[in-house]
């Protein structure tokens, strides 16, 4: 094996964070450059007309790529050296056979659902879920005769069982999509238990529903959905993986057959990632682990402070789960730690929440999460505002709920900022 594809040194298996600096890149192909250059090109030259024919056959799936043969580069909507290296490295983090990257997290979700569904199918989803995903499932997809059935994340696999029974009268289930922990209330769902339920589903076409986990909130450092039974692992790379609030991107990892099917849709729909963005994400992968660990450490200290504050009613942070809580066992089984994004409720309603948010001096009032800077926002009126008000209350997105994504600033500074902001409603 070439050194640039090494996963082992002798019998020693290399860690993903080590392979992020080398895997998939051969300096000899780029004038010896230590870092992969940007391949800022739309198209690629073929060695011969026969090669061009072969490459298109491989890219379209009409012909299986022979063992030991490189599929070749055609056009940057299909493939690009930077995209291919990035996809290989994301697959390493997810311990997946293959991965594809897209222009945004929503592009990853929508392309996956379209590739795996047909008119009349049912998509089951856990809620709360990101507001854009909710709108996609309940408004956009209905135009293509796809039906959506939701279940409450807090009900876990029992909620999924009820949703499966409801879907039976509607049509075949194509995809089950869930965030665990969910956004923004950090409810946990037992991935393995859900997979057992789905494997038992009998459908007229004999196809089993695909279990897709949006792992944006905790992965890939604190949770590995594929190892727990999920078929697909989806990210908004915009968040922790990109990590600097300066790019949009998404990815989907899984076994090669599934990813090839989704990639074919991506290539035609044009939901691919551009080469410059891929280059920036690849840079971010090198510091992913240390950034997530640092922000998680800061979040622990912020949670400790908020626990003692008289105006804070509840904190949605899995690290506070204790034995006896129905979700404790799931958290301990699935996660190696807590991410730095969580929510908390304060005494009062929207007016009080807005006062706190408007009073923040260092943390930025903005949507998104997982960046190096601390961000705060109001889910009910912002990221989840498209969810009907009555339903928001049912799934825990109340008017007094604030979401915070703790960055890598000194935790004492974040706490000082929260302290003076909470004073605004004293």
- Position 3 confidence tier, pLDDT thresholds 50, 70, 90: low
> What range does the domain containing 374 cover?
288-425
What token pair was written down for 380?
A: 């009910």
Longest dimension (CA), the chain: 75
Q: Where are the alpha helices (DSSP H) in 137-176?
A: 156-167
The answer to whether residue 421 sits within a structural domain is yes
- Position 227 confidence tier, pLDDT thresholds 50, 70, 90: very high
Q: CATH number of the domain that 382 lies in?
A: 3.90.1150.10
Concatenate the DSSP letters of all residues of 274-339 into one string.
PHHHHHHHHHHHTTHHHHHHHHHHHHHHHHHHHHT-TTEEEEE-GGG--TTSTTHHHHHHHBSS--
Residues 6+ apart with CB under 8 A from 416: none
The answer to whether residue 75 sits within a structural domain is no
Number of domains in the chain: 1
pLDDT of residue 160: 97
Task: Dump pLDDT digits (tens) for 64-85.
Answer: 888 888 888 888 888 899 999 9
Q: Is the pLDDT of residue 25 over 90?
A: no
The answer to whether residue 44 sits within a structural domain is no
The answer to whether residue 138 sits within a structural domain is no
Task: Dump pLDDT digits (tens) for 370-422.
Answer: 999 999 999 999 989 988 888 888 888 999 999 999 999 999 999 999 999 99
Q: Is the pLDDT of residue 131 over 90?
A: no
The answer to whether residue 111 sits within a structural domain is no
Strand partners, 342: 404
The answer to whether residue 415 sits within a structural domain is yes
Q: What percent of the chain has pLDDT over 70?
A: 99
Q: Report yes or no: 141 and 148 within 8 Å, Cβ to Cβ.
A: yes
The answer to whether residue 144 sits within a structural domain is no
Phi first, then psi: what are they for 155, rounded to 5°?
A: -90, -5
The answer to whether residue 78 sits within a structural domain is no
């Amino acid at each position: 094996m070439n050194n640039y594809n090494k996963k082992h040194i002798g019998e020693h298996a290399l860690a993903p964070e080590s392979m992020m600096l080398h895997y998939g890149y051969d300096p000899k192909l780029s004038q010896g450059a230590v870092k992969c250059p940007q391949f800022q090109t739309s198209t690629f030259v073929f060695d011969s007309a026969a090669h061009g024919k072969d490459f298109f056959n491989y890219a379209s799936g009409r012909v299986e790529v022979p063992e030991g043969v490189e599929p070749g580069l055609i056009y940057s909507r299909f493939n690009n050296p930077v995209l291919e290296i990035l996809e290989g490295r994301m697959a390493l983090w997810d311990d997946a056979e293959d991965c594809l990257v897209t222009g945004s997290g929503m592009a990853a979700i929508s392309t996956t659902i379209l590739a795996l569904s047909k008119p009349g199918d049912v998509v089951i989803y856990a809620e709360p879920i990101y507001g854009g995903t909710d709108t996609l499932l309940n408004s956009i997809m209905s135009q293509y005769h796809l039906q959506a059935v939701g279940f409450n994340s807090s009900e876990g696999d029992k909620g999924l069982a009820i949703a499966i029974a409801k879907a039976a009268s509607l049509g075949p289930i194509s995809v089950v999509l869930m965030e665990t922990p969910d956004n923004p209330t950090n409810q946990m769902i037992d991935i393995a238990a859900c997979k057992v339920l789905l494997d038992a589903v009998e459908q007229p076409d004999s196809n089993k529903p695909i279990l897709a986990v949006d792992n944006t909130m905790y992965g890939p450092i604190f949770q590995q959905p594929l190892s727990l039974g999920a078929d697909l692992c989806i990210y908004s790379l915009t968040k922790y993986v990109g990590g600097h609030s300066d790019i949009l991107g998404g990815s989907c990892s899984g076994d090669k057959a599934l990813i090839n099917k989704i990639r074919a849709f991506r290539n035609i729909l044009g939901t691919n990632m551009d080469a410059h963005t891929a280059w920036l994400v690849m840079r971010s992968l090198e510091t992913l682990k240390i950034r997530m660990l640092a922000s998680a450490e800061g979040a622990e200290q912020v949670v400790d402070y908020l626990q003692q504050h008289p105006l804070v009613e509840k904190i949605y942070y899995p690290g506070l789960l204790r034995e006896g809580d129905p979700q404790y066992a799931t958290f301990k089984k699935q996660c190696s730690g807590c991410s730095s994004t969580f929510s908390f409720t304060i005494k009062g309603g929207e007016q009080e929440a807005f006062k706190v948010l408007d009073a923040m001096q260092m943390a930025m009032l903005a949507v998104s999460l997982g960046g190096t800077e601390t961000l705060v926002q109001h889910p009910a009126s912002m990221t989840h505002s498209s969810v009907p008000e009555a339903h928001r209350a049912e799934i825990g997105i109340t008017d007094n709920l604030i979401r915070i994504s703790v960055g890598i600033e000194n935790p004492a500074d974040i706490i000082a900022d929260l302290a003076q902001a909470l004073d605004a409603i004293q």
